[in-house]
Amino acid sequence: MDMIKLNWTDQNLIRKFYELIPNEDVIQTAKQLWQIAADELRTKEKQEIFRQCIYLKRLPNKIEQLLNNLLDHNRKTVNNSFYDEDQRVSCDSRCLKMVNQC
């Protein structure tokens, strides 16, 4: 779902730009502007993906994986008899509170 694709119109505009025989400073400035525009499009694409995830009430895969790792680590901590009961309950409570905030 990549929005950034070089189509015929883009190629034509780039060709016309270079036909103007710009100096090196103008070329560098144009490349910077093109990079900024590409970065902005990528950001908008990521925002839209995240918006869809929120709409579907589903977290992006990376965040979901982080939460799953956190929960696994928490389960190990809570089941570890090395910690006393209060520490285990406190750890479990903090973890669940963080997950619920997501």
Each domain of the chain, given as residue ranges in start order, spans 1-58, 59-102
d(CA 52, CA 54): 5
Radius of gyration of the chain (CA): 25
Model-level pTM greater than 0.75? no
> What integer pLDDT is reported at residue 25 of this predicted model?
96
Q: How confident is the model at residue 1 (pLDDT cuts 50, 70, 90)?
A: very low
d(CA 67, CA 102): 9
Q: How confident is the model at residue 5 (pLDDT cuts 50, 70, 90)?
A: low
Angle between helices 61-79 and 85-101 in degrees, nearest 10: 170
> What integer pLDDT is reported at residue 99 of this predicted model?
66
- The mean-pLDDT minimum among 30-39, 61-70, 75-84 falls in 75-84
